[in-house]
Amino acid sequence: MILGVPLSLRKSPDRVVWAYTPSGEFSTSNAYKLLVVSTSVNNAGSSSGVAQKHFWKWVWQLRVPNMIKHFIWRACNNALPTKSNLFRRQITTSDTCELCNGAPKDVLNVVWSSTELEVQDDFRKEFFVIAAWSLWNRQNSLRFGRAIQPLSHICSSASNMLQEFLAAQEENPKEARTAILPHWRPPDADVIKINFDATIFKATNTTGIGVIAWNWRGEAVGAVAMPIPLSTSVADLEALACRRAVLFAAELGRFQTLDVMHVHRSCNMVADALAKKAKNLLGPQVWLDVLPEDIAQLIGFDVH
């Protein structure tokens, strides 16, 4: 792991960095968040974590509008502005429900409101969450003196809303899109295009870097394959491959300006093959103009 730490070519002095912020600067807010996450992970059991993951997957897969999914998420996290929550935050002077005149108005009180819902067999989960959302909106309308629908209409309105939503999903099915295959684009006449890639060899705990340079005719003007120690992350590995590509451009003597872009793997097969070829090399290998036979056979896959 120590050998895999990339060293700066600028030979800048060492400094202490905080690993949990992009800038490397320590902040008390970030340290607090890290402490909260660490505490929650240590206190949570494995079974509860699996159960929560299954529950939230069930919520996000409900066939209801996203605003209702968001309502369910807030309700399950006790994040709705109920009178109980507002009283706890000292926003209101009482947490008593206007309908019950006794029970605190929390999430359960708002959703049920002493009303029995008849849940249908088909889409009963979706029907329930829409009815709960409708009850929440009815309570808000009652609280602010707006017109409300009778409780006897909640079930029918929830059913109608569900049917309209499901029908809307079926009316505009996504049209099958013709797949557009990516293709290699040649550089300008006075520009060299360089592709690079990296790969990991788990058996030897090493990685390989591959670099290929093209001219505007689609001809290879140089290539590099080199093994390097395993980096600490995939991002570091890709950064090292990019750095080697820039250095190779400078070695070719044609490096003045730089533009970087991502290409699909189907247009980067030669660089990928060079990176894999590094597995059998003891050090960097450079080819100019003439590529190895096994690599030259792949040029047609990139340049098409």
**Separation between Cα atoms, residue 216 and residue 225, nearest integer Å:** 22
**Separation between Cα atoms, residue 280 and residue 245, nearest integer Å:** 20
CA angle 272, 273, 279 (to 5 degrees): 105
pLDDT digits (tens, 9 = 90+) for 204-259: 888 899 999 888 888 888 899 999 888 767 888 888 888 888 888 888 876 677 77
Domain ranges of the chain: 63-171, 193-302
Let me know: does 273 contact 293? Beta carbons within 8 Å.
no
User: Residue 226: which region, alpha, beta or left (left: phi > 0; alpha: psi -120 to 50)?
Assistant: beta
Mean pLDDT of the chain: 78
pLDDT digits (tens, 9 = 90+) for 21-33: 888 888 888 888 8
221: phi then psi, degrees, rounded to nearest 5: -105, -5
Strand partners, 96: 104
Closest CA to 123 of 159, 172, 169: 159
Q: What is the dihedral of CA 246, 247, 249, 255, to 10 degrees?
A: 80
Let me know: does 110 contact 78? Beta carbons within 8 Å.
no
**Separation between Cα atoms, residue 39 and residue 274, nearest integer Å:** 45
pLDDT digits (tens, 9 = 90+) for 260-278: 777 777 778 888 889 999 8
